[in-house]
Structure 1
């Protein structure tokens, strides 16, 4: 009878870890993306009108309303929602920007499992707050808490890096992209369908407890997060042994969010910068996309959900089929360059996409772009890093993305407002050209070492 070798046992454990991380990120992304197709309807619900304009929120948006009216916009109320939505859309990512490197560095010291349990529990609390968010300010609190805890993506990314060899790093990190893609399929689809269920119409008495027209999507997000928490607590085994846990070095001390361009490795700094600029354009597109679909085609929340399903399907195909198979023979740098080039073309197509054909072709290219660029750029950061710094460096990388998601919606909203949708997306194409040029100068990573 043959005995199981340690390497075989370790391989099985690593595969199990990747499966758990996949499910964890998938459930996280479903809960997070449920809100996407609801955004225009939610802003219409929460933005005050009539007597409500005299409350604090009314005073806050009054300057935006005046700006929209003075601009001569055909629908000032819609443009006010776009502008205010840009501000609200940035809130979640501001907190992710601050917290992602903190969670990543903390997991380098205490392990991945503990940090995942803390952050998933915090996400569950944020969905509870959303369920009872009759007030706009409760919704803001839910987004703040969710953003702070949503920085756990850097920890999950580090756990994948812990469990893969350097040669298989992109293949392993592509699992994160597949989870993203599937999350973008299931989450918006659920959100679009559940938007039709209003508990306040079925049982009006629930309004007294803070239940709102969007409480059902919040409830489903909460249930998925609880399942996620139970799954991680029972099945996830620590991927970072104590022998490999590091203490903060002098150059790593201080506020992590200010280290985006101060990583010791020059290649890591350049990759962070490439990702920051690329995500600046992509997050602006991601936020304004539902408003663009409403403006051009009159999409409902359910149709917006279907649009994200289309994007998610292509993400899954690209990251599950192309990145996992071609990362080793082609190389992460070449795939990243191909993704950035697709992004330029995608913005141009969406800008001129007045009909369904060109519009959805542009969306397909955009999904192809993020599907190639995101996992390969994160793999490059991991490959450029030492083992003891992987969590921190990947946290800084994710923080760069969160900073872009904090700024991108604001810039996109005001550009959309000031110059119109076509010019806004053409500017996005111009922005993506810069990271494409910078990425050409990235070095080829060494893959000889094994974690």
Structure 2
């Protein structure tokens, strides 16, 4: 990989952060090893605390959201409407984020990364408290809108990574990011599932009428407390990473190189949108998010779908165990092997391998379903195929670290890191808002038309006939 440019390199507005003297798209260039710059561990640790809280805020409501919606007067006793309204509550966060994320990321280029992160965490704390106290559907929607509207954290965090690292140690940070995210994603369902309706589980402790009237306040309050604690830690100990522009009226300004002054100028948003490197990296990010969110949405549906329709017919507890084990497994392996892989093969080849992993991931769905039909249940062979799919998904997940590196290095200069990452998060938020509904709708159509069911029945009949002949 190449190194980040310094002020001595006389960059211009269109100069990427990564130089071309050492290729970014592959290893094995014949040059000797480059010394790895030590990471600022304290600042990186604070950043990981903020990252850990993100999935807790977005996913802690998932275990109880269907039950919460079913208790509202909006469905009028029709349980079939629960999925529709629950999906709307889950998606409204991403839809609101689409509108505001790029503004927050762009604002971080002017006022700094730290203020944006603090505002995001404070807004998240308020949102979760409001969600736990909501008794009407519109109140739930408004609470999630607040969370999405004030959430510019992910783009700002990636900008901080770009400013705290260089090309020798950037892969190490992006390797550890899935660990923080996996810890949060594993903790979130536990918070939402175990702490909902505490008056039923611990009546001696939570016997007050407040907990009966607001049965879902405790998990929301715990998530809010996590956000508040992260906000406090960042406020006290996090250092601003955005370098302030020098005053044009200072005596030193007359001695500065005009090209150096230009390199500190924030590139306009429209110019960023036309920048080839930015467009290419963001397009790759959008494609990756679309394929990934579609896979994540279909996977639990496939596990829960009856075997007669081509699924596995697994209970929720087993599905949760499979998904939870992936989070832990993925976090550990990413921490151990992502940085060495990038140093050995380069981010381009690792990214291509991650995208290529989607081919076996999707092919394994009908293969696993067919095996479950043929063997009449969850045999060791079927379980081995399920585990193989989990391993392949870990390979796929390496593409995220690579595409984050490309987005960070596509910024024309450091003053445009926030805007560049904001564009990426805008595309990601839009895809994550529409992707699950599109994927699950296609899955529902396939069940309605009985495509996989007919195929499975024909294959199973053929299998039985062949066995009979033998």
If the TM-score is normalised by the length of the shorter chain, which range does it land in?
0.7 to 0.9
Offset of residue 201 of structure 1: 8.9
Q: Which residue of 2 aligns with 1:178?
A: 179
1:344 corresponding residue in structure 2: 359
Q: 1:98 maps to which residue?
A: 99
Q: CA deviation at 1:193?
A: 2.9
- Rounded to whole Å, the distance in 2 between the matches of 1:285 and 1:407 is 13
Distance 1:96 1:215, change over 3 A: same
Tell me the residue number matched to 1:408: 435
1:14 aligns with 2:40: yes
Aligned residues: 378
Alignment of 1:173-252 (within 5 A): 173-195=174-196, 197=198, 202=203, 203=207, 205-206=209-210, 211-212=214-215, 214-243=216-245, 248-249=266-267, 251-252=268-269
| Aligned counterpart, 2:281 | 271
Mapped contact 2:129–2:217 kept (Cα < 8 A): no
Contact 2:39 2:165 in 1 (8 A): no
Q: 1:86 to 1:32 in 2, by over 3 A?
A: closer
Superposition deviation, residue 285 in structure 1: 3.1
**1:103/1:39 CA distance change after superposition, 3 Å:** same
The alpha carbon displacement at 1:346 in A equals 1.6
Residues 351, 150 of structure 1: alpha-carbon distance in 2 compared, 3 angstrom cutoff: farther
Instruction: Report if the CA contact (8 A) 2:38-2:169 is conserved.
Output: no
Larger Rg: 2
Whichever structure has more helix as a proportion of its residues is 1
Is 1:325 matched up with 2:340?
Answer: yes
Task: Report the secondary structure of 1:359's partner residue.
Answer: helix
**2:459 matched residue in structure 1:** none
CA distance, structure 1, for counterparts of residue 46 and residue 321 of structure 2: 27
Note the alpha carbon deviations across 1:133-161, whole angstroms, 9 max, x for none. Answer: 22222211121111223331110111111
* 1:309 aligns to 2:324 (yes or no): yes
CA distance in 2, matches of 1:362, 1:315: 12
Q: Which of 416, 424, 427 in structure 2 is aligned with 1:389? A: 416
Distance 1:375 1:299 in 2: 33
- Structure 2: gaps of 5 or more residues: 1-36, 247-262, 307-312, 370-377, 453-470
Deviation at 1:125, TM superposition (A): 0.5
1:134·1:207 contact (CA, 8 Å) conserved in 2? Answer: no
Q: Give a deviation string over 1:299-354, Cα, whole Å, max 9, x none.
A: 33x55543332121122123211212222221111111111112221222234434
Which segment drifts farther, 373-382 or 266-275? 266-275
Q: For the residues of structure 1 that align with 2:350 and 2:39, how far apart are their CA atoms?
A: 29
